[in-house]
A and B are shown apart, each in its own frame.
Chain A
Amino acid sequence: GESVGLHLPTLSVQEGDNSIINCAYSNSASDYFIWYKQESGKGPQFIIDIRSNMDKRQGQRVTVLLNKTVKHLSLQIAATQPGDSAVYFCAENGGSNYKLTFGKGTLLTVNP
C-alpha cells in the first residue's frame, strides 16, 4: 500500500477484477480526503472525496473507505477496466481549507 512519503508502489490486476489501492496518512488534523487519477501526460483528475464524518462513500464503480482510528484510506474500483490504468494519488487537507498534501501515488496496471 501507499503512505504519504513512500516510494511509488504498483498494483497489477486482470480486467474485470476488483482493485484496492491503499493509503496511510499521518496528520490527525486531516478532515478531508480525495482520490485522484493521473493518466500519462495529463493532470490529476478528481475521482471521489470523503470527509472525516463518514466511513464510506460510493461513486460509480468506486468506493472510498476511511478508517480514522488507524489513519487509513482505501480506494476500491469494481470491475477494473483497461481505461482504469493510471497512477492513483490520495490527498489529505491536514485541517487546512485550501492546501492538499499528496501521497506519491500507486501505479495501477490492468491486464486485458
Chain B
Amino acid sequence: GAGVSQSPSNKVTEKGKDVELRCDPISGHTALYWYRQSLGQGLEFLIYFQGNSAPDKSGLPSDRFSAERTGGSVSTLTIQRTQQEDSAVYLCASSPEKEDGYTFGSGTRLTVV
C-alpha cells in the first residue's frame, strides 16, 4: 500500500480481555517494528521483525505480549489479559531492508477500562 496501515485506530477493552492489533506495512518493506507511546511520553521499542522472524523482541514488557508476522507482510501484536497500564498508542513502522529511516502508521489507541 501507499503507507503503513494500522487497525483498529481505536480500541476500548475491558481489563482481562485479549486484544489483537494489526499492521500492514508498506509493500516490499522487509523490516517491521512495533513501538508503544504512552501519554506525553516518547516511543518505547517493543519488537523488530526482519521478514517473518523477530531477531529482537527485547522490548516486549511481559509474556502477555506477543507478535507475529506472516508472509513477510502483515503483523499482529497480541496482548493477553490486558491491564490498565497497557493503555497507550501502539505504533507500527516499516522500512526497506535494515534502513534506519522508518515510516510509521497512525497507530492504534488502546484504552483498557
Contacts and interface: CB of A to CB of B under 8 A. Distances in A.
Interface string B43-55: 1010010100000
Contacts of A8: 40-41
Contacts of B4: 43
B98 A97 contact: yes
Nearest to A89: B42
Given A43-B91, A43-B107, A44-B91, A102 B100 contact: no
A103 B106 contact: no
16 contacts: A43-B104, A43-B107, A44-B43, A44-B91, A44-B104, A46-B101, A46-B102, A49-B101, A89-B42, A93-B100, A98-B33, A99-B45, A99-B48, A99-B56, A100-B43, A100-B102
B42 A32 contact: no
B33 A43 contact: no
B111 to A, nearest CB: 14
A16 B100 CA distance: 32
B43 A98 contact: no
Nearest to B50: A98
A100 B100 CA distance: 8
Contacts of A93: 100
Given A43-B4, A98-B33, A105-B42, 19 more contacts: A4-B42, A32-B100, A42-B107, A43-B105, A43-B107, A44-B43, A44-B104, A45-B104, A46-B102, A46-B103, A49-B100, A89-B42, A98-B48, A98-B95, A99-B48, A99-B56, A100-B45, A102-B43, A103-B42
B31 interface: yes
Nearest to B105: A43
A34 B40 CA distance: 19
Interface string B69-113: 000000000000000000000010101001011111111000000
Given A44-B43, A44-B91, A97 B106 contact: no
Contacts of B93: 43
Given A32-B100, A43-B4, A98-B33, A89 B56 contact: no
B43 to A, nearest CB: 4
